[in-house]
Amino acid sequence: MMETNEAQTLTNSLQENEKIFHDRLNIDASFDVGMRKINVLGKEVQFYYVNSLNDEQIAIQVLRELMDLEKFNMETNSARETIENHIAHIQVDVTAEVDQCIFHLLSGLIFILIEGEHEAFIVDVRNYPGREPAEPDTERVTRGARDGYTENIIENAGLTRRRLRDERLRNEIVQVGVRSQTDIAVSYIDGIVDPDLVNIVKQELDKINIDSITMADKAVEEYILNQGWNPFPLVRFTERPDVAAAHLTEGHMLLMVDTSPTIMILPTTIFHHVQHAEEFRQSSAVGTFLRWIRFIGMLAAVFIVPFWLLLVLEPDLVPAGLDYIGVEDEGNVPIFAQMLIGELGVELIRMAAIHTSAPLGTALGFVAALLVGEIAIDVGLLTAEVILYVALGAVGIFASPSHELGVALKMVRLLFIFAVGIFTSYGYVIALTVVFILMVRMKPMNKPYLWPLLPFDPAAMWQIVARTGVPTMRLRPRIVDPKNVVRQTKP
């Protein structure tokens, strides 16, 4: 941790002030921290900057305006006032605190010291290296907005505000991390959001006392939600401003962490992870259809694979008329082991594909499909059915719009496979029940995770089962405990 400096203030002597900053910042050691001295109206003026975070053009403008004062030999009673009047920028702050100066300097602002003055002018000329808003890779849509959040919190706040001109939209900012001083914005709409929730989150943020949170939103999430060893995602991440804005108006709150393009939506239930922006870009019928296909895919991915394994291990369970379920040729390896090999293989391929660059990825695909798929059957290591069901499970998981939920479901499936492989049908039924009870028990941010399925809320469940038309959604979801329940009224 950093040693705490006592609140140092600037003095009237420019030499002393210069020494303070030279000592604390060691300006000669870093190539991107610097200082420029000029003479204005007979006084020495010092500019401190971090050129890697400054917009040089704006800084030069500010500098030129002050240099012009010198050129025209202006007469003045107060050099300080004249200089303050001639700082060519809209955002100028005055401070006497050394810590403030340094914090702003390292955020990309410049500060100006004047001979004989014990206060500094801080001018916002920052320009962070970053990219333009682009469509997020993991949340593509066929129609609709193509902008996505970036690594810049100010741009992100702007992308949200562009969609909500509500005067009650609040973007409260706090700094977390003693060294990193990372900006975290808590966004919500006053009058809709549950104020207790906002307070709890702000308190939790205040309690964080870490040196840096360079891993941004994920680190913050772990502080706020006490995830423990629970694999299920307790917050919804999104990179789409339209999704974030829609949730704001529903009464959710957002957490934006600077340097991360993913925004956290709180509070979240599991059903936030199975919906996709695409559904809301299609007609209700099509949206519902897409949603059901996804549900079936995800349920199949979790339940069918271990269930098939169970039917192979205990052929008595297979009902008459479905005798074709099972394996034709058992192969040389026990089916349970084959299943594990298959699962491991698919997971390895997926992981490898993420870390491989695109040209190599194609090659990887060939190797995976041909070698692992074809040849494993030919040599009798895996049977065709195992490959089929493992592939079915993998594809079903990919249908989950949330990567985090997908991985969690995969782990649950693996648990079921082990339960079936070791304890057969007892294992399956008991594992199902235990996982169900544990999921019912989950209450991130004091909201039941399986809501509205359990506790059952018929009206809200209908909105999950069907992608209802926007004109019919009259109420905000109760789960966020909105202060203003009514979303729209009947004409």
Partner 1 sequence: MNRKHKEPKGMPFAVKVLLTGVFGGLIWSCIWYVAYFFNFTDVGPALIWMAWALGDWTEQMVGQWTAVGIITVLSIGVAFLYRFVLVRVRGMWMGLLFGAVLWGLVFFVANPLFVELDPLFDMEGMTIVTTLCLFIMYGVFIGYSISYEYELLQFEKRG
The single residue among 129, 359, 471, 491 that binds partner 1, judged by CB under 8 A, is 491
**Binding residues for partner 1, total number by CB under 8 A:** 30
Q: Minimum distance between the CB of residue 417 and partner 1, rounded to whole angstroms?
A: 17
470 binds partner 1 (CB under 8 A): no
Q: Is 489 in the site for partner 1 (CB under 8 A)?
A: yes
Q: Is 12 exposed, middle or buried (0-12, 13-18, 19+ CB in 10 A)?
A: exposed
101: its two tokens? 């100066």
Using rule CB under 8 A, residue 435 touches partner 1:
no
Q: According to the binding rule CB under 8 A, does residue 180 interact with partner 1?
A: no
Residues in contact with 107: Cβ distance below 8 Å, sequence separation at least 6, in sequence order: 53, 126, 181
Q: Quick one: which of 429, 463, 466, 468 contacts partner 1 (CB under 8 A)? A: 429
**In terms of CB distance, is 58 or 313 closer to partner 1?**
313
Q: Write down the least CB distance from residue 477 to partner 1, Å.
A: 11
Residue of 441, 446, 469, 470 that binds partner 1 (CB under 8 A)? 441
Q: In terms of CB distance, is 5 or 488 closer to partner 1?
A: 488
User: Can residue 457 be called a binding residue for partner 1 (CB under 8 A)?
Assistant: yes
User: Rule CB under 8 A: is residue 433 a binding residue for partner 1?
Assistant: yes
Give the nearer residue to partner 1 in terms of CB position, either 136 or 452. Answer: 452
| CA–CA separation, 399 and 299 (whole Å) | 11
Question: Interface with partner 1 by CB under 8 A: which range of 80-88, 219-227, 327-335, 447-455?
Answer: 447-455
Residue 36 in contact with partner 1, rule: CB under 8 A:
no
Compose the 310-349 pattern: x for residues touching partner 1 by CB under 8 A, - for all others.
-x----xxxx------------------------------
**What is the 8-class DSSP label of residue 5?**
P
DSSP 261: S
3-state secondary structure of 456: coil
Draw the binding track, 367-406, toward partner 1 (x: CB under 8 A; -: no contact).
----------------------------------------
First to last CA, the chain: 59
- Does 456 help bind partner 1 (rule: CB under 8 A)? yes
Torsion sign across C-alpha atoms 148, 153, 158, 163: positive
Cα-based distances in Å from 185 to 14, 63, 85, 201: 36, 32, 32, 11
**C-beta atoms surrounding 397 within 10 Å:** 23
Site residues for partner 1, window 276-315 (CB under 8 A)?
A: 311
Asked if 432 touches partner 1 (CB under 8 A), the answer is yes
**Using the rule CB under 8 A, is 475 a contact of partner 1?**
yes
Return all residues near 400 (Cβ < 8 A) that are at least 6 apart.
273, 274, 294, 297, 298, 406, 409
**Phi, psi torsion values for 355, nearest 5 degrees:** -85, -5
Name the nearest CA neighbour of 411 among 232, 228, 221: 232
Q: Which residues contact residue 438 at a Cβ distance below 8 angstroms, ignoring those fewer than 6 apart?
A: none
CB of 452 to partner 1, least distance (A): 9
- Binder of partner 1 out of 448, 464, 480, 482 (CB under 8 A): 448
Q: How far is it, in rounded angstroms, from Cα 148 to Cα 281?
A: 16
Q: Binders of partner 1 among 409-428, rule CB under 8 A?
A: 425-426
Cα–Cα distance for residue pair 331/311, rounded to 1 Å: 17
**Binding site residues, partner 1, CB under 8 A:** 311, 316-319, 425-426, 429-430, 432-433, 436-437, 440-441, 448, 454-459, 474-475, 478, 485-486, 489-491
